[in-house]
Amino acid sequence: MWSGVARILATQFRVLKPDLPGRGNTPAPAAGGMEGYADFVEAILAQLPAPVGLAGFSMGGYVALALMKRQPEKLAALALVDTRAFADDEAGKAKRDEAIAKVRSEGVASVADAMVEKLLAAESLRRRDLVERLRRIMLRQTPETVEADLTAMKERPDSTASLGGISIPTLVVVGEQDALTPPRDSEAMASAIPGARLVSIPQAGHLTPMERPKAVAEALSDLFAASLGAAHV
């Protein structure tokens, strides 16, 4: 999902796109929840020379916030893309449980088909190539990975109280038509992080890196160029 953005940023920075546990060639996730995913990314950061910028999209934003609570010294800039800081409420947790039950009984396709319209803006839904690419990405995931992700998101802690302690340059990006993590959530998050900049992407839903990769890359490039110079992202 980061490929279009990464291609643009790679002209300025060394860009790493790690496959979280259960994706690509990375072994299946353990029962570590969001902290387990944060452990995985932190191990990668430990091997990189400083400074490093981190961009987290959707669930990746939850992982990024988990890392920020640990205050890793190598992070010099942070981008939170179509994500939120607060935990699921009871209704949200119930929806995660329903999705887990559906994956167990009907497979990944049942959840993928139900999610496409929620993930994309109206304009993006008319782009057949984008819709099909999104479905292929979703259908490549194993039921075990999808269940682990849903469980990790359901059980993630609230990060709202930690936002005021973020002291590195931070960018918050959101699609104007994001129905899953709506702009009001990003506005609140940006307001709570000292000095954070908010960028709203027009004609985009939840999947801004796929829907509007050039606009997202431009916003991230400004952040990282000012904070890192020629470094890692």
CATH of the domain at 79: 3.40.50.1820
Q: Considering the domain boundaries, does residue 97 fall inside one? A: yes
DSSP state of 19: -
Under 8 Å between Cβ of 209 and 4: yes
**DSSP secondary structure, 189-202, as one string:** HHHHSTT-EEEEET
Residue 230 has a pLDDT of 57
Q: How far is it, in rounded angstroms, from Cα 200 to Cα 173?
A: 6
Domain assignment of residue 190, yes or no? yes
Cβ contact 225:53 at 8 Å: no
- Asked if the structure places residue 194 within a domain, the reply is yes
Q: Is 28 helix (H, G, I), strand (E, B) or coil?
A: coil
81 falls within a domain: yes
pLDDT (0 to 100) of residue 30: 64
User: Is residue 233 domain-resident?
Assistant: no
Structural domain of residue 130, as residue ranges? 3-227
Residue 212 lies in a domain: yes
Residue 10's pLDDT is 96
Q: What is the number of structural domains in the chain?
A: 1
Q: pLDDT tens digits for the chain (233 residues)?
A: 999 999 999 999 999 999 999 898 888 766 679 999 999 999 999 999 888 999 999 999 999 999 998 877 889 999 999 999 999 999 999 999 999 999 999 999 999 988 999 999 999 999 999 999 999 999 999 999 999 999 999 999 999 999 999 999 999 999 999 999 999 999 999 999 999 999 999 999 999 999 999 999 999 999 999 998 755 56
- Cβ burial of 190 (10 Å; 0-12, 13-18, 19+) is buried
Q: Whole-prediction pTM value? A: 0.95
On whether residue 119 sits in a domain, the answer given is yes
Q: Are 52 and 233 in contact (CB under 8 A)?
A: yes
* Any domain includes 153: yes
